[in-house]
Structure 1
Amino acid sequence: MGNTNKKESNPVQIQNLNAGLEVLAEDVRCSICLEVFEDPISIDCGHNFCRGCIAAHWSGISFMGYQCPECRHLCHKDRMIPDFRMKNIVDKIGPALQGASAVPLVEMEDPSDPGTAVQLVGLNEEGMLVVHEEVLKTCLQAEEVKNRPVCMIAIIGEQRKGKSFLLNYLLRKLRSLETGDISWMGEDDQVLDGFEWRAGIQRTTKGVWIWKKPFFINSNSEEIAVFLVDTEGSLDIAGNKELTVKLSALSMLLSSHLIFNVSSSMKETDLEYLEMFAHVADEVGKAFSLQPIQHLDILVRDWFYPPVYGVTGGESYINDVVIKELQEASKYPKVLDILKNRAHCYLMPFPGRRIMVERTGALKDMDEDFKETLNTYINGLVDSAGSHVKKDNREFKLTSGKLAEKIRRFVEVIKTNEYSFSSPLEVHHALLHVSRVPDTGGRLF
């Protein structure tokens, strides 16, 4: 016989339990990394932090003494007392809190709305980086997505080399996920829309832009929200180098699938640029508890010779030319590690003179070999999106809502006074320094 005294859960009790977990979540999260405590310790003032987070925060020489990030009380950096009671609480309820979120609820807009590109990060009147709160709430903290795993596909690279153009064809594919043939690319004369783009030499994208509405894909019985992110072009001699450094660093850290868009070949400037951001992503990623550079595509545009395109030509080029030269020259160790372990290369031919002249992005103006490689690349990217969910540095999947909080904090840390960046190493040290100060109030950067 079964247990006749078995009680069924009351919906009100479940609701109260969930509310209790939400409240408890605030007490078992580290205020530095915003995640559930890992190896929690207590410092002199009584506040708790992850051991690694407070050690990173206090690393180096402090002329102001070692202050608590929460109350600013002066503490002794060697008096970190393990908090076993907190650790036991985290071990017991931590998994249940992985889905808990303290972000506000925001209703999604009309589902029939096809969406639009909106600026997530830009500049205010004083020239300082700012997050547009309404965009963050509407996109990443909407009720429909805030507790879902998220795949962020972002693109960085030199200005005016077709980044927004590529994202717009990716938009077309995501709008036609059920289409099994090339018809997802649209009609021959269909004008390309989505993220703002145009052929020519004038810059189009300013700041960091996100497609307002997510696309949902199923992977291993789990629904994942996919967002597309466009970034202001770098390596622009007329632009603000410091600003583009920070914007690209943000895109690199928030993305789970990063596309590094280069022209013709991997040049010295491209390698230097990538080495710089690899340093930044590793060090700042530790401070923000983010897994740096989860997956990188080296997308070489306008490839000329030999005429072998796609992943076959790309892997041959990276392995037989780029990696070989880096090993012989003993330069750019971070890039070398990424290319060996976390990157793929894809070669795309010149799209054709007509598409550059007509400026509509229509299929009828593309050379056939470009159309074919574009179709193959976009299909492969979408098919792999489910395996590129954003994760923290402990391999936990990040929800859209949690990622939104990290974006807020990152921009707060780097919203600027001017720094003079003359080398990748200088950028690395500058960003590393401010990444360890969770509450700058705009004073340092």
Structure 2
Amino acid sequence: MTKQTKKVPKRIAQTVLNSLKGGVVPRIGLPYVTVGRKNEIQALLHDVDIISEGGASFRFVVGRYGSGKSFLMQTIRNYVMNSGFIVVDADLSPERRLQGSKGQGLATYRELISNLSTKTKPEGGALNLILDRWISSVQSKAASDSGLTPGDPRLTAIVDQNIYTVTSSVSELVYGFEFAKLLSSYYHAYVNADDELKAKVIRWFRGEYALKREAKKDLDINIIITDDNWYEYLKLFAAFFRLAGYSGMLIMIDELVNIYKIPNSITRQYNYEKLLTMYNDTLQGKAKYLGIIMGTTPQAIEDKRRGVYSYEALRSRLAEGKFSKPGARDLLAPVIKLEPLTAEEMLILCEKLAIMHADLYSYEKKMTDDNLATFIRIEYERIGADLNITPREIIRDFIEVLDILYQNPNLSIETIFNSDEFSYAKSEAVSNKVADNFSEFTI
């Protein structure tokens, strides 16, 4: 069995264990608990290489609730940030869609920009930092190349020209003229220490102007970001970030199932139409230095009545070919279907968690290899577990067992495993999972 040799810092261990026990994916510490998904990760990282060379990609990561979609997406997120990428991410909801008559598309854009992250600011809110660093780096490079000192009018002229080179490149794109004008306004506000103007530009970039006349008054711009055009500005950001020295931009949108759940068929179709536009852009070369990954469930993709496949233009592009099957999936296709983690992989993961837990609370690990094997066997032998049990449920239960054993040192592992409560809890979890799956089909 693979042993975890590198000790996990307690701050990270606490976050990882608390997050996993709560059923959510931690934003830090994932390399310590990543198991399996090697082929899927390699496929997505191949896309990253293409993006950094000026290409674009679009992938759907498809799996049942708790199967590891968000875990995989978070793993890729951390990797690309360490490789010099900008990442924006958001979960869809009834209030956040790709398109909507009440600002739901704009709400998604605002969430994405709010969560804009870099390696040095992984928690989001990095837009100001990126713009300031861009201007500072242009100034530093100009001073280094020219040998001139700050304050020299000749250096200012060189910096102005370099800034203009970037903004003029962006201005050639759709909506690029206004975007470039705002970048120039931000630069001059930075140079003149005009914090009020900087704040107004950032407010515009965040999609917070509701009226064109207000933007005209504050920034001399005749356009604002809306439900209809927000995606175009993400393409502009991708182009600008590359010019500002980053490798590219990755958009990560999870919970696409919320479009599947929209009761109105016309509204769903409008959202799928937006999805088609984004998909076509990446494959036809209309977007550069841009990757898009969307997470969803099998039903939300394959249901021909209300899922993505209900939109024929998407179904014909995304439907799996006749030769792909479980155990031999085409991971170069637009849709990546997650295979369940094997019992052996779950065993390795639980061992990592047991070591992490013992190190965090400073006790000698009591969970033996036999104990781990027994736990996994119990989990997988439940009625319906082969179809319904997920890594999320197994991990959550395992951490709870570790917590109970730590707080009750006189309690034996065998006592917990053989208890009626443990059996009842597992049976209930499987029953609830069946109910959840049924509810997805009957919304």
* TM-score by shorter chain over 0.5: no
Q: Relative contact order, CA 8 A, sep 6+: which one is greater?
A: 2
TM-score by length of 2: 0.23
Select the structure that is richer in helix: 2
TM-score by length of 1: 0.23
Q: Who wins on radius of gyration, i.e. which is larger?
A: 2
Select the structure that is richer in strand: 1
